[in-house]
Structure formats: structure tokens, C-alpha cells
Amino acid sequence: MSLVVRRKEEFWCDTSGQGCGKYFLTYLRNNTNGAFTIKCPACGHDHYRKIINGLVTSDRAREDRDVYNKIIIGLKATLRDTPQHNSPEFRRSLMKRL
């Protein structure tokens, strides 16, 4: 029996792809595999990604509604203008771990 672990994954809704320019988080399980549509909670922009063992690959998936029918909606409460790793809260949390 394997342990299922959830981890945070940060997305940026790129303005060059007609997105809103916001950052948001999703939580992915380590047993998540396949082609997914990650939907921005701010503007509804679709991000097509391939996920293997809970990790988003560098492969950009092409838009194909028949294949990418699994939808993950980003968490609206995590919307931000700066990436998480640049936020003061994130830096404080890293310092507390040391």
C-alpha cells in the first residue's frame, strides 16, 4: 500500500496567452497522472498540462477537448500578483523550517 501525498503546485496565468497575469496554487496528489486542464480561478483561462506522478511536466499540452477532459480548478483564495517564492510569508515559512 502506497502513501498518497499532496503537494502545492504554483501556476502563472500568462498575459501573453490571454490570461490575467495572476499566480495561483493547486494541490496535486502523487498518484495524479494524465492530461489535465488547469483552470485559472480569476479569469477562467485554461492551461493544458501533462501530469506524471503528481508533477507537472515541461510538456505543454495542446488543446484537445476530447483528451484533456479532466479539469483542475485553481484555488481562488491563493490568487496573488507575485509568485509565492517572492512573498514575505513564504520566506518566513522557510526560515522557520531551519
Higher pLDDT among residues 10 and 60, named by residue: 10
Residue spans of the domains in the chain: they are 6-97
In sign, the C-alpha dihedral spanning 18, 74, 41, 21 is negative
pLDDT of 33 over the 70 cut: yes
| Beta-bridge mates of residue 9 | 26
Counting every residue, how long is the chain?
Answer: 98
How does pLDDT run across 35-50, given as a tens digit for each residue? 888 999 999 999 888 8
